[in-house]
Amino acid sequence: MAYLLQQLLSAVPIAALYAALAFGYAIAFGVTRRPDITYGAFFVFAGQIYVLFVDVGWNRLWLVLPAALAFGAGVAIAYTASTGLFLGRAVVRPLVRASPHAVIVASLGVVIVLMEVGRMASGSRSLWLPPFLNEPIVFWVDGGFRVTLTVIQILNAVAMVALVTLGHRIITTSTWGRSWRAVCDDPLAAELCGANSGRVFVLAYGAAALIASICGVLATSYYGNMDFGSGMMFGLKVLMIAAVGGYGDPLRSAGGAASLGFAETLWGAYGPIAWRDLVIFSLLVFILVVSRRERPVP
């Protein structure tokens, strides 16, 4: 019983991460209506920039560790979100209007560029953060077995759940959220009703990049590193993770992704670990191909 409880608790940070990533991806997909692996690359890129600028703050600016971490996080989030806004305005939106299927090809090129920028900026070195906030919090003791989570796991999970909650509130109650839903349904009709579909498109893409960058900083804070060669893998994985709950509703997409996080953790605990990635990716491909509710606009 204690072992099961530990696995369920350990799944919470992973489920929260998957939920936040899927939520942001659904916001971008709503306006592009095309698979886009760039989103996962934003997640990785933010982690790389975060580690790089923490190193700059620590070794060159002689900042104390909390200040270096804050400096790196601020630069990473600002830089990645700005990159998302630029790409949404200068690359993705023109392609969606001219040839929507070109978005899929362009996203591959963007991923390669972001991966190479991260690699060159770090000088092909794998930088690591020092461990912090890793003190265990004990939730239950059964004999000699302690059910725990670390402080940073708890903080990350709370921050990601708060991010999804705030994003859902903005989408459902704000003027921009109503405009976003209108543009997702029919951009031309939204324009005729007074919505600026171009601005909504760019802001949606930038908001998705912002969510990905925050998740990248939080995940890197826990794991300590973000490899510059993992942009392609995370791009594909996030695309398929978001398919579990469907792309049409960001909150439903987040819920489906969270359930996948629990399933992945429980398989790692009770199933053969060597088969975990194969089983999970096979399940994701099956859901993406067979069970998706949305169809691309021809």
Compute the C-alpha angle 122/123/129, nearest 5°: 35
Helix (H) or strand (E) holding 137: strand 136-142
Alpha-carbon span 285 to 237, nearest angstrom: 10
Q: Identify whether the C-beta of residue 39 lies closer than 8 Å to the C-beta of residue 208.
A: yes
Query: Model confidence over 147-195: pLDDT tens digits?
Result: 999 999 999 999 999 999 999 999 999 999 999 999 999 988 988 888 8
Listing DSSP states for 144-182 in one string gives: TEEEEEEHHHHHHHHHHHHHHHHHHHHHHHSHHHHHHHH
Please tell me the number of Cα atoms within 13 Å of 89 on its side-chain side: 11
Alpha-carbon span 50 to 73, nearest angstrom: 5
Backbone angle region of 124, left / alpha / beta, with phi > 0 → left and psi within -120 to 50 → alpha: left
Q: Which alpha helices (DSSP H) does 174-297 contain, by range? A: 175-185, 187-192, 197-223, 231-241, 250-270, 276-290
Q: Output the pLDDT for position 292.
A: 54
Mean pLDDT within 253-277: 87
Q: Output the pLDDT for position 296.
A: 40
What pTM does this model have? 0.92
Please tell me the number of Cα atoms within 13 Å of 14 on its side-chain side: 15
| Ordered structural domains, the chain, with CATH | 9-130+148-290 (1.10.3470)
Q: Higher model confidence: residue 136 or residue 293?
A: 136
Q: Identify whether the C-beta of residue 150 lies closer than 8 Å to the C-beta of residue 136.
A: yes
Residues with Cβ within 8 Å of residue 255, at least 6 apart in sequence: 19, 245
Alpha-carbon span 131 to 219, nearest angstrom: 13
Q: Identify whether the C-beta of residue 234 lies closer than 8 Å to the C-beta of residue 42.
A: no
Mean pLDDT within 106-124: 85
Cα 291 to chain centroid distance, Å, stands at: 22
Mean pLDDT within 253-275: 88
Helix (H, G, I), strand (E, B) or coil at 145: strand
Mean pLDDT within 138-148: 88
Mean pLDDT within 100-126: 84
Query: Model confidence over 208-243: pLDDT tens digits?
Result: 999 999 999 999 999 999 877 776 777 777 888 887
Mean pLDDT within 52-66: 94
Q: Output the pLDDT for position 268.
A: 85
Residue in 71, 6, 29, 19 with CA at minimum distance from that of residue 295: 29
Please tell me the number of Cα atoms within 13 Å of 31 on its side-chain side: 31
DSSP state for residue 90 in the 8-state scheme:
I
